[in-house]
A = this chain, B = another copy of it.
Amino acid sequence: MKPTITKSYLYEHVARIGKAISSPKRLELIELLAQGEKTVETLAEQARIDMRLASAHLRALREARLVETRREGKFIHYRLSGPDVAQLWVNVREVAEEHLVELRVALDQMAASPDALSSESRESLLTKARSGDIVVIDVRPEAEYVAGHLPFARSLPLAELEKRLADLPAGKEIVAYCRGPFCLMSDEAVKLLRQRGYTAHKITDGVSEWRAGGLPIEN
């Protein structure tokens, strides 16, 4: 017997996606997964929550078909089920930034340098990076750099920045980025670099924002 399909049945399914992104923890997990495939353990550690809680939230995300899994030995790797999921996260975050004043003031207070990029400055950044005029560094963990990074960027994880300062050319302007507007690693990198006499600033774009802006990502 065929189930009666009502109009509200359609909205119920779309609401499954809404429910999945209605929890702060799950949004954080999505943002982390937008940086690349990760194990439950890594996700729990990076989101600073219990592994069992992470597992429960990932289950909810999987039931909404926003994430998929792959087993490798003892580990289960989670990934977003498509680039449209990362795009959705960016979209929701942008709507929130546009309409929720509290979020805007919080972002202003947190970020040392707001430096939001318009699409023109994205292009000009790309040009300057290509010509070697500036040095773009990716301060996320190396695994995330490997999974995808901005063009012409080199990997220089925040944790290793201090001991690998020699890798950076002396006179050049440094541009740091990390996971996106909510990530503070690039701020810390800029702070450290300026203390050491470098000319450095950050951009709020992460890989997802860059891609959402229509620009290419390297692997």
**Interface residues of A, Cβ cutoff 8 Å to B:** 2, 5, 7-25, 27-28, 64-66, 81-82, 84-85, 87-88, 91-96, 98-100, 102-103, 106-107, 109-110, 182, 184
Contacts and interface: CB of A to CB of B under 8 A. Distances in A.
Contacts of A109: 2, 5
Given A5-B109, A7-B184, A100 B22 contact: no
Contact of A10 (B7, B8, B106): B106
Nearest to A94: B84
Given A5-B106, A110-B5, A14 B98 contact: no
A91 B91 contact: yes
A116 B100 CA distance: 34
Give how many copies assemble into the complex.
2
* 7 A-B pairs with least C-beta separation: A11-B24, A18-B22, A65-B99, A18-B21, A13-B103, A22-B22, A19-B22
Contacts of A93: 14
Contact of A18 (B2, B11, B28, B92): B92
Given A13-B96, A82-B98, A93-B14, A28 B5 contact: no
Contacts of A102: 13
A34 to B, nearest CB: 13
A96 B85 CA distance: 10
Interface-central residue, A24, A66, A98, by most chain B CB under 10 Å: A24
A10 B88 contact: no
B88 A92 contact: yes
